Amino acid sequence: MRSGRLAILDEHGRRQKVHPAEVSGPWHRRVFALRALLIAVFVAAPLARVHGRPLLLLEIGARRFWVLGQSFNAQDAPFAFLVLSAIGFSLIVVASTLGRVWCGWACPQTVWLEGVIRPIERFFEGSALQRTRLAAAPWTLSKAARVGGKHVVMASVAMLVAHWVVSFFVPAEELFALWRGSDSAPQGVVPVLAFLFALFYGDFAWFREQTCLVLCPYGRLQGALQDRSTLLIGYDVARGEPRGKASAAGAGDCVECKRCIAVCPTGIDIRDGLQMECVGCTACIDACDDVMLKLARRKGLIHYASEESLAGGKTRYIRPRTVAYAVAAVAGLVVVALFVRRYEPFEANVLRAGGVPYAIDGATLRAPIAVHLVNKQPEATVVHVIAPSPTDGVSIQVPSPDVALAPFEGRTIPVMIQLERSRWSPGFRVHIRAHDDRSGHDRLLDIEVLGPHPRAP
Ligand code: SF4
Ligand code: SF4
């Protein structure tokens, strides 16, 4: 068993650089395919359009957000909260049932580090053994060229990723304009690009697996989210022990080849039991299966299993905590769906006009209000503010009822409510309708009319 310190640290607490060996096999092919798909989605998402509108663009400065071609503004902020909550609960469900499957298969850190940066490193510096030797070798022209070439390509990837991340917040055309030197380009993004570049390059070139081991809060939460029935990557002790040569009488299936350690990107020995450093990348499954196949033994000495099943028990997939997490995630998704269904392409809100909220003129009470209209669409529209016909001594005047709004424009128009004072009582309400020409949607504004205290003379 290992001591309590991280596997990447030596006895003096110094970090030992990990040079994971290359691995191939069915799990590697599946993980590789998913990583390639995720990178393709990442590259395509900020460039893709839905009916000419951005698929995903979060223009924070303009407080305008595009999701699946639909535009939202700051008033839709609860939507972002609901979406993030639903994603958060979904990740919790995944962690409690499938352990670190997110970390090993889909987390951007693993996708870029294992899917892009390691292959670049192998291209310039060779196999794990060659890389280890190169790291220990004195500096020569050849070493400088190989290490330098690797860093130039890694820095280029970091720069590209930084641009792509920014393009989720700034339209890609504006980023292109920046590099063309156009005056209209958003100069404010330059420090952001520089910061992201430094962050990604520092991670790719130096920090690497430490992000998962010491920084990531999701990684730290795993212990609290998992239980003995959570599916993890584990070593079958009953089958593997006692370790020994393939020819040794009475030995288990583990031949102590240490291939599972050699391929591990966090440098751990999965045979020491379930460990916080395991990011669930599946590399050791393929590595060990390969050894077992060569020895004509059954695959699966290292495999997806729960602590319960590894101890000879039964994995319980449906448990109180997984049901509770799943209910919370589904509830979040349902609320998001309802919110999207209720999405309005324009906003109409009542504002109290500045100054006095009402005025008494003999037997008449006048209450001025304002209606704030916002066109949330990228096309111009006309919103009609429609007041009911005067009735029972109540009349509502809208001096400019037809309001032309440019794309994303907001305007406030005055409205005067007038009624016989004797008709007013606390909580008195009137209703106005706002109709958007372009979408055909209506909003009904429920307005409480303010008036004098009931005992006022
Ligand atoms: S790869 Fe398999 S056989 Fe080799 S040391 Fe690891 S568990 Fe044992
Ligand atoms: S122990 Fe296996 S699954 Fe876990 S990080 Fe290492 S190689 Fe990947």
Residue 73 binned pLDDT confidence (cut-offs 50, 70, 90): confident
pLDDT of residue 457: 60
Mean pLDDT of 33-46: 97
Mark whether 265 and 289 lie in a shared domain: yes
Mean pLDDT of the chain: 91
Q: How many CB atoms lie within 10 A of CB 433?
A: 14
Spatial distance between the Cα atoms of 356 and 348, rounded to a whole number of angstroms: 22
Domain boundary (310, 343, 376) is at 343
Q: Which of the listed residues 343, 378, 394 is the one where a domain comes to its end?
A: 343
**279 Cβ inside 6 Å of ligand 2:** yes
Per-residue confidence (pLDDT) for residue 446, from 0 to 100: 95
Q: Specify the pTM.
A: 0.84
Average the pLDDT over 70-96 and give the result: 83
Residue 260 CA: nearest ligand 2 atom is 7
Q: Is the pLDDT of residue 362 over 90?
A: no
Q: What is the pLDDT of residue 131?
A: 97
To test the ligand 1 pocket, which listed residue (288, 289, 298, 302) has its Cβ within 8 A of the most ligand atoms? 288
Query: In the prediction, which pLDDT does 122 show?
Result: 97
Percentage of the residues of the chain whose pLDDT score is greater than 70:
97
**What is the pLDDT confidence band of residue 229, given thresholds at 50, 70 and 90?**
very high
Q: Read off the CATH number of the domain in which 405 is found.
A: 2.60.40.2310
Pocket test residue of 289, 297, 301, 310 for ligand 1, highest count of atoms within 8 A of CB: 301
For position 252, what pLDDT does the model report? 95
Let me know whether 317 and 426 are in one domain: no
Averaged pLDDT, 8-19: 85
In a domain, 457, yes or no: no
Instruction: Show the ligand 1 pocket: residues with CB < 6 angstroms.
Output: 235, 240, 254-260, 271, 287-288, 291, 301-302
For residues 297 and 241, state if they share a domain. yes
How many separate domains does the chain show? Answer: 2
Residues 260 and 400 in one domain: no
Task: Report which bound ligand comes closest to the CA of 254.
Answer: 1
Pocket test for ligand 2, best of 8, 261, 271, 281 (most atoms within 8 A of CB): 281
Per-residue pLDDT band at 93 (split at 50, 70, 90): confident
User: Rg for the chain (alpha carbons), in Å?
Assistant: 31
Instruction: Assess if residue 2 is contained within a domain.
Output: yes
Predicted local distance difference test score (pLDDT) of residue 329: 82
Q: Is 138 domain-assigned? A: yes
Of all protein residues, the one whose alpha carbon is nearest to atom 7 of ligand 2 is 264
Domain boundary, last residue among 343, 377, 407: 343
Task: Kindly state whether residues 95 and 200 are assigned to the same domain.
Answer: yes
pLDDT of residue 352: 79
CA of 299 to the centre of ligand 1 (A): 11
Ligand 2 within 6 A of CB of 110 = no
pLDDT in tens, 320-358: 888 888 888 888 888 888 877 778 889 999 987 667 788
Q: Which of these ranges, 148-152, 325-329, 395-399, has the smallest mean pLDDT?
A: 325-329
Residue 163's domain spans which residues?
1-343
Q: What is the pLDDT of residues 240-268, one digit of tens each?
A: 999 999 989 999 999 999 999 999 999 99
Q: For residue 197, report the distance from its CA to the centre of ligand 2, in Å.
A: 28
**What per-residue confidence (pLDDT) applies to 454?**
66
Q: How confident is the model at residue 3 (pLDDT cuts 50, 70, 90)?
A: low
Q: How far does residue 231's CA lie from ligand 1's centre (Å)?
A: 20
User: How many angstroms does the Cα of residue 374 sit away from the middle of ligand 1?
Assistant: 64
**In the predicted model, is pLDDT for residue 108 greater than 60?**
yes
pLDDT at residue 231 greater than cutoff 90 = yes
What pLDDT, on the 0 to 100 scale, is given for residue 456?
Answer: 63
Ligand 2 pocket, residue 264 CB under 6 Å: yes
Q: State the pLDDT at residue 100.
A: 93
- Pocket perturbation via mutation, ligand 1, pick of 237, 258, 272, 303 by most ligand atoms within 8 A of CB: 258
Residues 337 and 438 occupy one common structural domain: no
Q: Which of 63-72, 76-85, 275-284, 418-427 has the lowest mean pLDDT?
A: 76-85
74 part of a folded domain: yes
Same domain, 330 and 376: no
Let me know if residue 414 belongs to a domain. yes
Distance from residue 251's CA to the centre of ligand 1 (Å): 13
User: pLDDT at residue 1 above 60?
Assistant: no
430 confidence band (pLDDT: 50, 70, 90):
very high
Mean pLDDT to the nearest integer, 30-56: 95
pLDDT for res 2? 56
Residue 455's pLDDT band (boundaries 50, 70, 90)?
A: low
Least confident segment among 12-26, 63-77, 274-288, 383-397:
63-77
Find the mean pLDDT for residues 423-452. 92
On the question of pLDDT at 138 being above 60, the answer is yes
Is the model's pLDDT at 221 over the cut of 90? no
- Distance of CA 119 from the midpoint of ligand 2 (Å): 18
421 C-alpha to ligand 2 centroid (Å): 78
Kindly state whether residues 296 and 389 are assigned to the same domain.
no
Residue 453 domain flag:
no
Question: Is residue 101 domain-shared with residue 242, that is, in the same domain?
Answer: yes
Residue 43 has pLDDT above 80, yes or no: yes
452 Cα: distance to centroid of ligand 2 (angstroms): 73
Least confident of 69-73, 149-153, 445-449: 69-73
Q: Please check the confidence at residue 453 and state whether its pLDDT lies above 80.
A: no
Protein residue with its CA nearest to atom 4 in ligand 1: 257
Most confident of 145-154, 169-178, 302-311: 145-154
Q: What is the pLDDT of residue 13?
A: 81
Task: Give the model's pLDDT for residue 63.
Answer: 83
In a domain, 454, yes or no: no
301 in a structural domain: yes
Residues 320 and 351 in one domain: no
User: Are residue 281 and residue 244 in the same domain, yes or no?
Assistant: yes
Does residue 351 share a domain with residue 326?
Answer: no
- Establish whether residue 170 lines the binding site of ligand 2, counting it when its CB lies within 6 angstroms of any ligand atom: no
Could you tell which of 231, 282, 289, 301 is best to mutate to test the pocket of ligand 2, judged by most ligand atoms within 8 Å of the CB?
282
